[in-house]
A and B are shown apart, each in its own frame.
Chain A
Amino acid sequence: MTVPLSVTGGVGGLTASYADITTEAQQLTALSGRLLELAASLQAMLADPNVVAGAALDPGGAARFEGALAYALDGPNGLTLTATGIGAHALTTRGTVLAYQAKDAALASMASSLQYAAGEVVGSHPLAVGAAGAAGIAAWLADEKLQGRDAAADAQQFLTSHPWLTRDIVNMAPGVIDASIENVSGPMAPLLRKLLGLPPFFPTTVPEAAGLAGLLYPDGSPHVVADPAYAVTPPTGLGSLFAELGAEEGNSQQVLVDKVAGPNGQGVVIELPGTQFDHWNLVPLQQYTTPYDLSTNLRSMSAAETTYLDGVVQSIESDPDITKSTPIMTLGHSQGGMIATQLAARLSADGYDVTHVATAGSPVATMTVPDSVQELSLQNTQDVVPQLSGVDNPDLPNRTTVSFAAGDGTVGGDHSVADVYAPVAAQIDQDTEASIARWKQGTDVFFGGTSATQTALTITRTFPAASAGH
């Protein structure tokens, strides 16, 4: 049996690609003896006849190589300071073949020592390591030319057999990458750049950026059609209401307005479905007439009033059966819960008596709830949606959050109103915990009715004639 592991920091840090060098280098400090070997090898490269010969073929590259290597060796923190006294006669007096072998060994030595060098040098001079790595490549390139081989063709084979070198390259410091790849490694540049998959970071302009916003601009005005009211069984609690939303999960396009009557008076429950998958803006430039799409979501968390919200408000405020003294509960799942919260604020501001809000799986933490409204939020800790606010729901007297863990471990399953939230809502109906009990105060008018009618609102979006798509 395995248990979940939580790993934080370490390599995960955003700057870890650079800290990584230092960390590994510190681990390698025990190999201090290799520094001397490295210094010797580098000194050998500087004097290597292959490099000298390569300079004739590629004076610029050789000059850069020599400059970079000299910096690595003799710069303020150069290896030479540490490697003083180490001669390189044996290496520099070898013949061409031996020199090649020696250079290859030097590269291997460099690879394993670069990290050490990083720890000693990179801290104040990142360029040194980059230059050292680049120097190795340049030396190899010089040898390729000396031997009449195609460096580009051999590059892949070389890197395959020396993957450590590539890794060191990708660990180079910022700014050194381009210099190394573009200026020093020459024929290998395209290959390296391809392997690293460096993405383009193109500058943009204010108008260009605004263009994207325009592509997904949510146009339109609400148009509400109310079906004739029909008698329904009065709701008995949160469980029955969320079960009703769950029965049409993913398919309902209608807002349900329940008018409940009973010994406790009359109340109105407004049930708000969530986003409907089938009504997304399938093509951004087109306009779809349903407001239950992502363009509505685009504005739900802002102060903007959505077409969806406007449509519901328009319907409620034009209903002669709903007065400003009629108790109102708004309730919704997912996006519907966000709208329910906004609707409560909007209707309260307009003077209506919104007393309760219930949300399920909705990110409402950053939304405002009037003090006069009691909000109950159901949040499955396995459901990513309610956590998208990025913060916990506020701990306020009028805001109660019920958290629990349930679901099948999938994004959709853990967010399901039918399978997760409705059963828990039914459980809450039986719960007597203090905050829950406080929320329940005054709900008799909604849950204790003896008769009820339900009106289904279909809200569509209309567009200005000038920009209407269809």
Chain B
Amino acid sequence: MTTTAPATRRWLLAGAALVAAAERVGVALPAGVGPELDDDTRPLALALLEQGGGCDAEAVLAPDLAAGLEAGAAPVAVVELTVAPVSGAVSPGRSWRAWYVLGERTLLALLQRDDSPLLEVVAAVPTALPGELTRLVSALPTGPGVGDLPPTVVPLAALSQVPREGADLTALAEATGTPTGQLLVAARVAEQAQQTLQVLVTGHPRAGATPVGSLLWYRLPRGWVSVVAVPDGTDRRPVRIAPVAPGQLPAQLAPLLVGAIG
């Protein structure tokens, strides 16, 4: 048995250049990627595409780029990842937006950091997805460790209602039926969170794009914590808050993608 080495190609393109390339292939990019082009901006976008190496000397779109963009023609699943600062954070870190478009035969990954004017465009075979996810995750801050937050189950409302400062935990405890000790953990997340990492997985079955699952992480001063639903059949909608290492992201994403792929 042999494994075929994945063919991975990368470009750094302005958003408009990427849109121009997608237009040439006749595919749509994920919502939020690049600007809309019009007759005035399209020539400039094409110039940027050529300057960015997306075309050869004869202005023909690079075959590998075209092949990668084909993923957008009939995506199996799209993973949209956003790393954003929490308002008022002391150490907000870098922000990221990334899209992984999994087509039947190709993977198209689009990565952008907040301080970069260029999108990194990756065209690869579908099996490159875990590696590409890991590559981005490795760029995330880890903190000194996985943190000292004890794994705790709280109602989702505790996270959505605990204010960042001055939380009235007693009132919230009564309203949600949650022990104050558990709410203290939620309050600590609310007070100390510096960044959020949100992943939305969209499946593309016959019915069209469908949001099918999400991940939510918060970065505290000592490291990341994940928020995972642990339904108990009640409307308390409990979630488990637990320390997590950035390297665990692909594994946490796996079940979502398994479902999207079938």
Chain A interfacial positions (CB closer than 8 Å to B): 4-8, 10-12, 14, 16-18, 20, 156, 159-160, 163-164, 166-167, 169-170, 172, 174-175, 177, 191, 194-199, 201-207, 209-221, 250, 274-275, 277-278, 280-282, 284, 293-304, 307, 334-335, 338, 362-363, 365-366, 381-385, 387-391, 403-405, 409-415, 462, 464, 466-467
Q: How far is the CB of A389 from chain B (nearest CB, A)?
A: 5
Which one of B6, B51, B193, B261 contacts A163 once the chains associate, using CB atoms below 8 Å?
B51
| Closest CB in chain B relative to A288 CB, distance in Å | 11
| Interfacial chain B residues near A160, Cβ < 8 Å | 43-44, 47
Interface size on B, as a range, is: 35 or more
Contact B44 A166 (CB under 8 A): yes
List which B200-244 residues lie within 8 A (CB) of chain A.
200-201, 203, 205-207, 210-214, 216, 218, 227-231, 233-235, 237, 239-240
B206 CB contacts on chain A under 8 angstroms: 277
**Given A213-B227, A383-B127: A464 in contact with B15 (beta carbons within 8 A):** no
Looking across the interface, which residue of chain B has its beta carbon closest to that of A384?
A: B126
CB of A368 to closest CB in B, whole Å = 12
B10, B230, B235, B262 — most chain A CB neighbours (10 Å): B262
Contacts of A18 in B (CB 8 A): 116
A210 with B115: CB separation less than 8 A:
no
Partner of B130 from A194, A204, A293, A388 at Cβ < 8 Å: A388
Contact A195 B15 (CB under 8 A): yes
Contacts of A218 in B (CB 8 A): 229, 231
A-B contact pairs, 18 of them (CB 8 A): A4-B5, A16-B120, A160-B43, A199-B112, A201-B95, A209-B216, A219-B233, A281-B211, A294-B203, A298-B229, A298-B255, A381-B127, A385-B258, A388-B257, A390-B133, A412-B261, A415-B261, A462-B233
> With an 8 A cutoff between CB atoms, is B35 at the interface?
yes
* Contact (A6, B51) CB under 8 Å given A212-B198, A412-B262: no
Complex alpha-carbon distance, A221 and B234, angstroms? 8
4 closest A-B pairs by CB = A197-B15, A221-B233, A390-B250, A294-B212
> Among B97-105, B142-150, B170-178, which stretch is in contact with chain A?
B97-105
B258 touching A4, Cβ below 8 Å = no
Which residue of chain B has its CB nearest to the CB of A390? B250
Residue of B whose beta carbon sits closest to that of A306: B231
Q: Which of B35-57 contact A (CB under 8 A)?
A: 35, 40-41, 43-45, 47-48, 50-52
How far, in whole Å, are A196 and B45 apart by their CA atoms in the complex? 9
Given contacts A195-B35, A196-B118, 17 further A-B contacts (CB under 8 A): A14-B113, A14-B139, A163-B51, A167-B48, A195-B45, A196-B117, A207-B160, A217-B237, A219-B231, A219-B235, A280-B205, A293-B259, A294-B260, A304-B229, A384-B261, A388-B129, A466-B235
